[in-house]
């Protein structure tokens, strides 16, 4: 492992042009048709990887992939439908070097996934939980899950007794819970991988404040207006927002690392290791969330081979 001071100095100026050669590697990027997902997929493909655009709308995915100079393919994946998640995983064959759990929804009006879960928790967490576990026998290098600094908001904890937030839903509370779940999932996945002796690593990243189309779907019109101003004044573009994901996906970092922009309070800048809330570092909560997620999705952990 690289010396941490050297890693920190290098990260301060790191950008996508410094991606190591990805030739011969295969990556799946969920939600790759737009925003930071597209930027990450584009950078990986340009570096030589074969990138699978895992998207809900294949037509939009094909249009996005056509803009990429590199090896790509498009496969349908609707994270709000566990049947679609299973179909995607069942169709997979061969090694998968990198799984980037990027897709997500943000601060929507209250709704439900096909299986009846609150939309943000069901899509952002449960869909990726099921996808990762179903694909894990194929993964050879790492899993990167995109969270958010807004994991600190809402109640600051997972509502284990009422994860669908029935009777107490707010768009911000639900989004914060789903992003906290992303970090706890990463923590427990890394613990299980290490315990099994696997060389696969689980890491998380956040884009800081990146101008993407996510903000335009917020339920509150005042919030949409506020974020539209922030997109113009404070935010970095989607390629800047993708840098923490790419850094987590390709650099020599410890498992369970959390990467985000290193400047302006974590809102923009070159990637660096990021702090997280106390709740996001709670191993007991991570184990409890894992058990709950297995019960809700019907997808259980299967020990992985120790050598990869």
Q: How do residues 7-24 score in pLDDT, each as one tens digit? A: 444 456 798 899 999 999
Q: Is residue 25, in this structure, part of any structural domain at all?
A: yes
Write out the two tokens for 261.
């922009």
Please give the residue range of the domain that contains residue 160: 4-297
Q: Is residue 304, in this structure, part of any structural domain at all?
A: no
| Secondary structure (DSSP) of 84-147 | HHHHHHHT--S-EEEEEE-----SPPS-B-TTS-BHHIIIIIIIHHHHHHHHGGGEEEEEEEE-
- Rounded to the nearest integer, the mean pLDDT of the chain is 90
Nearest to 171 by CA among 120, 229, 216: 120
Q: Is residue 152, in this structure, part of any structural domain at all?
A: yes
**Residue 237's pLDDT is what?**
86
Among all residues, which ones are annotated catalytic?
175
pTM over 0.85: yes
Give me the residues paired with residue 158 across strands. none
Q: How far apart are CA 290 and CA 293, in angstroms?
A: 5
**Residue 3's pLDDT is what?**
45
Q: Is residue 166, in this structure, part of any structural domain at all?
A: yes
Q: Is residue 86, in this structure, part of any structural domain at all?
A: yes
Q: Is residue 135, in this structure, part of any structural domain at all?
A: yes
**Residue 209's pLDDT is what?**
83
**Residue 216's pLDDT is what?**
47
**Residue 221's pLDDT is what?**
67
Q: What's the domain count of the chain? A: 1
| Cα pseudo-dihedral 102, 104, 134, 152, rounded to 10 | 90
Q: Is residue 70, in this structure, part of any structural domain at all?
A: yes
The percent of residues above 90 in pLDDT, for the chain, comes to 80
CATH of the domain at 290: 3.40.50.720
Q: Is residue 145, in this structure, part of any structural domain at all?
A: yes
Q: Quick check: helix, strand or coil at residue 155?
A: coil
What is residue 236's DSSP assignment? B
């Amino acid at each position: 492992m690289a010396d941490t001071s050297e890693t920190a100095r290098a990260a301060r100026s790191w950008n996508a042009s410094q991606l190591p050669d990805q030739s011969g590697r295969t990556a799946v990027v969920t939600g790759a048709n737009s925003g930071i997902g597209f930027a990450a997929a584009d950078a990986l493909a340009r570096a030589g990887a074969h990138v699978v655009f895992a998207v809900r709308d294949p037509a939009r995915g094909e249009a996005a992939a056509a803009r990429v100079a590199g090896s790509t393919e498009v496969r349908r994946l609707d994270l709000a439908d566990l049947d679609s998640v299973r179909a995607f995983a069942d169709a997979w064959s061969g090694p998968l070097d990198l799984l980037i759990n990027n897709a997500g929804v943000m601060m929507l009006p209250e709704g439900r996934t096909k299986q009846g879960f609150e939309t943000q928790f069901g899509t952002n967490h449960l869909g990726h939980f099921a996808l990762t576990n179903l694909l894990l026998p194929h993964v050879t290098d790492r899993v990167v899950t995109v969270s958010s600094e807004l994991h600190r908001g809402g109640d600051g904890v997972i509502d284990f007794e009422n994860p669908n937030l029935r009777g107490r839903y707010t768009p911000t509370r639900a989004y914060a819970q789903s992003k906290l779940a992303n970090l706890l999932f990463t923590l427990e996945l890394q613990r299980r991988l290490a315990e099994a002796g696997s060389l696969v690593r689980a890491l998380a990243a956040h884009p800081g404040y990146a101008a993407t189309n996510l903000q335009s779907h917020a339920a509150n019109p005042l919030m949409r207006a506020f974020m539209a101003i922030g997109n113009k004044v404070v935010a970095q573009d989607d390629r800047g927002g993708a840098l923490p994901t790419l850094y987590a996906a390709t650099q020599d970092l410890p498992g369970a690392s959390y990467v985000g922009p290193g400047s302006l309070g974590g809102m923009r800048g070159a990637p660096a290791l990021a702090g997280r809330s106390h709740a996001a570092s709670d191993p007991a909560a991570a184990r409890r969330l894992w058990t709950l997620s297995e019960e809700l999705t019907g997808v259980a952990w299967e020990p992985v081979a120790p050598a990869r």
